[in-house]
Structures are given as C-alpha cells and as structure tokens.
Chains A and B, each alone.
Chain A
Amino acid sequence: MSAPPRCVVLGVGNPDRGDDAAGPIVARALRGRLPDGVAVIEGSGEATALIAHMDGAAAVFLIDACVSGAPPGTVHRVDASAAPVPERLRGLTTHGFGVAAAVELARAVGQLPPRCVIYAIEGAAFETGAALSPAVAAAAAEAARALCAEIGQTE
C-alpha cells in the first residue's frame, strides 16, 4: 500500500512466555534510538507475516529467542544475507514455523532483502506468564546496544 521502509527491525516472540519475550523487548528498547526510515516492528514470529514485513526492504534485522544449548543470555549474531542459516542454528527459533523458515522461504522465492542479520538470544525458561530471566534481560540490553551501533553504521 505505502512504500516499504529501507530498513526493518523485527522483534519476534510471545511477550507472555518468559524468555520468549526477548525479541519484542529488544524492539521496544530500540524505539526512538534508530535513524529515520527504520521501521521497528514487534511480531509473533509467524513466518509469512515476517516475510510480508521485510518485503521490499534493503535490510532486515531479526531478533528472536532461541534454544541451542549455549548458556542462557548468549547473543548469537548470524549474517544470513548470502549464506543459509547454518544447520546448527536452524533450531534456534522458539516458534514452530518461524525466523529461520521465514528467511529461507523468502530467499527461495527471491524476496529476501539484500542484507539480513539475525540476533538470537539464548533463553532459559519459557513458562506462560513468567518474566524475563536476569541473564536474558541483560542480553536483551546488550543486543539492543549492538543493533543501535550496527544499524547506525548501515544507515
């Protein structure tokens, strides 16, 4: 309907499932701290909605919680622009048909933005109604700082 933004930041996760809220919390922390023309969106992580949000953008940054076996609070940064999301990180997302699927599906149909970076934050607990665990809260703040720096340079 309107022209797509140049750069999209997508914080993905369920705000009511403990550490799964990491993505939306990073997105909220980034509001007002990024250059004009950068869209900051909180999403449920459903793959086709993610693809619709990133369609037409020059760059997309995706933030999600993950369970890969690393210590809770670990921030994984993956540049998925050219190469597929590595196999060992495929299971990263906490969503059934989520971030990694969205990126690969968008790539398969030629709709992946030229620049695509995933920040995945290792979660510890995903109980319904629980708050972020302390290590993940600290990691969310760290990821927000890193994204500010990276997107500031990109723009």
Chain B
Amino acid sequence: MAAKTKTIKTDYLARIEGEAAFKVVVRDGAVRSAEFKVFEPPRFFEALLRGRAFGEAPDITSRICGICPIAYQMSAVHAIEAALGVTVGGPLRELRRLIYCGEWIESHTLHVYLLHAPDFLGFDSAIHMARAHGETVKRGLALKKVGNDIVNLLGGREIHPINVRVGGFYRVPRRREFAPLAEALKRVRDIALDTVRWTSKLDFPDLERDYEYVSLRHPDEYPFNEGRIVSTGGIDIAASEYAQHFEEVHVKRSTALQSRIVGRGAYLTGPLARYSLNFDRLPPAARQAAKEAGLGPVCTNPYRSIVVRAVETLYAVDEALRIIADYQEPDRPAVALEPRAGIGCAATEAPRGMLWHRYRLEADGSIAEARIVPPTSQNQPSIEGDLRACVESSLDLDDEALRLRCEQTIRNHDPCISCSTHFLRLEIDRGQGA
C-alpha cells in the first residue's frame, strides 16, 4: 500500500520570474530525502549571444534578470574586456563601482524590508507588515529609491539599463549631475545605519551551518567587480580558472544546472560568504555597525543574512558617497577597443551572489560561445541542505507552518526565486498514518 502523501500546493501560475518546489519524504521522524527544484528560464541567453557582436552582450545579458541587470552587465563587460586584453581603470572603474552600489542598495533593501522582514515579524506579506509598521516600510522605500536613482543616472533608464558598454559607458555624468544624488545619499545614510540596528533585534532561529563560502576578494576593497575567487576551503584562483575548480551538473528534476566544487560538493555565495571572507575589507564604520549588531567577523547562521545585507547596504551608501566626492570627469566615456580572437572570463558580485561569465570571441569580435553561471545555480545545493536541516529541526510543525519556515529559509539566500509571498510548493510525505 502506498504511503500517505500530503501535498500542499500554492498558486504559482501568475508568476514568470521564478518559482520553486520542495519535496521531502519523512520516515520515522527522520528526513529520508529532500529535493529542492527551481524553475529557471532555460539557458536561452547563452544561445542568443552566439554570433552577436561583443558590444551587444551588456544589453542582451541585462535582460536576464529584472532585479540585478547591472550584475549581468558588469560580468559581461569585464569578461569581454579580458578577452580583448583591455583594462578599464580610473574614473570609469569608479563609476562601475558606483552603479554596483546602486544595485546593491536596491536589491538588498527590497530583500530586507519587503521580502524577509515580514517572515521574522510574523506577517503574511509586506502589505500586512506595512499596515502595522507603516513608518518602517516608508523608510525602506526611501532608502531603496536612492539605489534606483543611482542606477537610473548611470544606467540611463530603469528597465534594461542601456548606458553600460564594453570599455566604459556611452555617456558619463558631469560632476554637477551628482549633487542631488549626494544630498539624497546623505539623507538616507541614517536610515541605512538604523536598518542594521533594526534587523539585529529580530528573533533568529538557532541554526549554524558549515558552508564552504565562496566570493571574490580584492587586495584593498570590499568586492564588486574585481578580485580573486577565494573560499573558506582554501580555493584562491583567478576567474579564468573557475571552470577547473567548479562544475555544473544537470539535475533531472530541475531546469537549472547545479554547481559544485569539483571533488567536494555544495558551496555558498552571496552576502554571508562575501562578508565572512572580506570582513577586514570593510571600512571602520561598517565594521563598527556590524559589531554593534552582534555580528562577528564570520557569520554562519543563514537567518542572520538579513543583518549582513543591512551592513552591506550601509557600506554601499558610504562607498557611493566616497566615489561621488572623489569623482573626476574622465577624458572620454570609454576606452578604445580592437576586436580580436580570444577567451575572457570574469566574476562579479551580484547582490545575491557571485556571477561568472566566459566568452570566446572570433577575430571579427563576434561571440563564438558564451557561458553564464548565475548565483541561483551555485547556491541551489546549499539551499537544499538548509531546507533539509530546517525540516529535520521542525517536524513538529504542521504542514502550513513548515511551508512558511521553508520559504523563510530560501529567502535567506535568494530574492529572485522568492520574490512572491507564497512561492514554494511544498510536498511533504510523512508516511502512512502520519
């Protein structure tokens, strides 16, 4: 006789950005199997890039994700510049860090205030939370808007930013154009600092995980666009060596590929990894805020990722102010480029984790081959491990409470597959007579 299976389904018809399913089998009070499945758009974009001129890559790849288009543009331009043997420095490099600050502020603030905080405070959705905590949500909206303003000024527009190009930008702002932005950033800095304090007071489930963290690490900076790929397990490589140390495995149950460290397995990218591998690269103000929020130099409780995001947001506000204060208008908006045959790789730090691109160019500059490894596929095995741990420690909950706890667990890492309140289909098989 078949074991009794209880299925809980949530409505996922209306969303197309991403959704997820989690199937867990429980026998005798123990988790026998746990399968986390993500529906990602197929790798349409890698095929779309083939045969296109290299200059089209930033515009095409920015369309992959509505939440982090800048990350896709940044990984694309750096990888193609590597293939062309070009380095972009000076004010153009600074402007690239600035636009990345904007995307971190946007994405992290959305994640902290509207996706993750309602879980901690026991609200069904951000809307319900806003009815009870209107002023708090308003502060979050004001902080996020400054991130939008940075991306709009440098990216040219909100949807599918178009101003980023291989070699630099199509147009760079004059110094005076930054004045209103600098004022807005100064106004929201207190909100950013207060966000760190506010998140630190939330009630965090006890869970410490033994992740292998992977992120960029730069000699002087908290990483956005540059650095070596390092891990808590001893990896220390250039982006061009990524494919020798990390592999993607096709999992039958998912349209997404899952990444793992060759010979070892699951790893984690994103705020927890960046922070834990680069704490000493944060400026004193951000380090102090982290300390006051109860964070040590390493954080292994995934639920505290909400505090780490707040610390990174504070850093992004301060870094944006620094870049604007020091900004010197460049002589030209982009460096000159000559097409040539070559291979180039780059990794940059998208808000939710490391994003790796590789391009092979023909002599005429057309793209012969493109490979894109997004954070979602890299983190998927670790998220599955978190879910297993979460279910094992919460078997006394009923199915609905368990589903909510699982959603919160996924939201520790990924806003993109969790951008709707009830995105998870949980299928729990507790065995006959359960």
A residues sitting closer than 8 Å to B (CB atoms) are: 1, 14-17, 20, 24, 41-49, 51-52, 66-67, 91-97, 101, 104-105, 108-111, 126, 128-129
* A46 cross-chain contacts in B, Cβ below 8 A: 66-67, 110
* B130 cross-chain contacts in A, Cβ below 8 A: 105, 108-109
Q: Which residue of A lies closest to B110 (CB)?
A: A48
Give the segment of B9-17, B292-300, B309-317, B373-381 that binds chain A: B9-17
CB atoms of A110 and B134 under 8 A apart: yes
CB atoms of A1 and B184 under 8 A apart: yes
* A109 cross-chain contacts in B, Cβ below 8 A: 130, 134, 137-138, 141
Q: Which residue of A lies closest to B15 (CB)?
A: A96
- In this assembly, does B419 line the interface, its C-beta being within 8 Å of a C-beta of chain A? yes
Q: Provided the pairs A44-B66, A96-B18, A128-B41 are in contact, do residues A101 and B134 lie with their beta carbons within 8 angstroms?
A: no
- In this assembly, does B433 line the interface, its C-beta being within 8 Å of a C-beta of chain A? no
* A96 cross-chain contacts in B, Cβ below 8 A: 15, 17-18, 419-420, 423
Give the CA-CA distance A42 to B141 in the complex, in Å: 20
Give the CA-CA distance A110 to B141 in the complex, in Å: 12
Q: Which residue of A lies closest to B159 (CB)?
A: A44
CB atoms of B14 and A91 under 8 A apart: yes
Give the CA-CA distance A16 to B140 in the complex, in Å: 30
Q: Provided the pairs A48-B110, A52-B145, A97-B420 are in contact, do residues A67 and B159 lie with their beta carbons within 8 angstroms?
A: no
Which B residues, 54 to 74, have Cβ-Cβ distances below 8 Å to chain A? 63, 66-67
* B15 cross-chain contacts in A, Cβ below 8 A: 94-96
CB atoms of A16 and B419 under 8 A apart: no
Give the CA-CA distance A146 to B131 in the complex, in Å: 33
User: Contact string, B129-146, partner A, CB cutoff 8 A, digits 1/0?
Assistant: 011001001101100110
Give the CA-CA distance A110 to B14 in the complex, in Å: 27
- In this assembly, does B399 line the interface, its C-beta being within 8 Å of a C-beta of chain A? no
CB atoms of B160 and A15 under 8 A apart: yes
B159's partner among A24, A51, A97, A108 (CB-CB below 8 A) is A24
* B420 cross-chain contacts in A, Cβ below 8 A: 96-97
Give the CA-CA distance A44 to B134 in the complex, in Å: 24
* A93 cross-chain contacts in B, Cβ below 8 A: 14
* B138 cross-chain contacts in A, Cβ below 8 A: 109, 111
CB atoms of B13 and A48 under 8 A apart: no
- In this assembly, does B158 line the interface, its C-beta being within 8 Å of a C-beta of chain A? yes
* A66 cross-chain contacts in B, Cβ below 8 A: 14
Residue pairs across A and B with CB atoms within 8 Å: the count is 97
Q: How far apart are B127's CB and chain A's nearest CB, in angstroms?
A: 5
Give the CA-CA distance A128 to B420 in the complex, in Å: 20
- In this assembly, does B114 line the interface, its C-beta being within 8 Å of a C-beta of chain A? yes
* B110 cross-chain contacts in A, Cβ below 8 A: 46, 48, 97
A47's partner among B45, B114, B145 (CB-CB below 8 A) is B114
User: Contact string, B394-412, partner A, CB cutoff 8 A, digits 1/0?
Assistant: 0000000000000000000
- In this assembly, does B255 line the interface, its C-beta being within 8 Å of a C-beta of chain A? no
CB atoms of A104 and B127 under 8 A apart: yes
Give the CA-CA distance A101 to B115 in the complex, in Å: 12
Give the CA-CA distance A111 to B138 in the complex, in Å: 9
CB atoms of B48 and A129 under 8 A apart: yes
* A44 cross-chain contacts in B, Cβ below 8 A: 66, 158-160
CB atoms of B180 and A43 under 8 A apart: no
* B149 cross-chain contacts in A, Cβ below 8 A: 1
Q: Which residue of B lies closest to A68 (CB)?
A: B14
Q: How far apart are A65's CB and chain B's nearest CB, in angstroms?
A: 9
Q: Which residue of B lies closest to A48 (CB)?
A: B144
Give the CA-CA distance A34 to B28 in the complex, in Å: 67
CB atoms of B13 and A67 under 8 A apart: yes
Q: Provided the pairs A91-B13, A94-B15 are in contact, do residues A108 and B419 lie with their beta carbons within 8 angstroms?
A: no
Give the CA-CA distance A45 to B14 in the complex, in Å: 14
28 A-B pairs within 8 Å (CB atoms) are namely: A1-B180, A14-B66, A15-B160, A17-B16, A20-B16, A42-B158, A42-B159, A43-B158, A44-B159, A46-B110, A48-B114, A48-B141, A48-B145, A66-B14, A95-B66, A96-B15, A96-B17, A97-B110, A97-B420, A101-B125, A101-B126, A105-B126, A108-B127, A109-B130, A109-B138, A110-B134, A126-B16, A129-B48
Q: Which residue of B lies closest to A66 (CB)?
A: B14
- In this assembly, does B240 line the interface, its C-beta being within 8 Å of a C-beta of chain A? no
* A17 cross-chain contacts in B, Cβ below 8 A: 16
* B109 cross-chain contacts in A, Cβ below 8 A: 48
Give the CA-CA distance A20 to B420 in the complex, in Å: 17
Other 8 A-B pairs with CB < 8 A, given A42-B158, A108-B137? A44-B158, A46-B110, A52-B148, A66-B14, A97-B114, A108-B134, A111-B138, A128-B42
Give the CA-CA distance A9 to B94 in the complex, in Å: 34
* B44 cross-chain contacts in A, Cβ below 8 A: 128-129
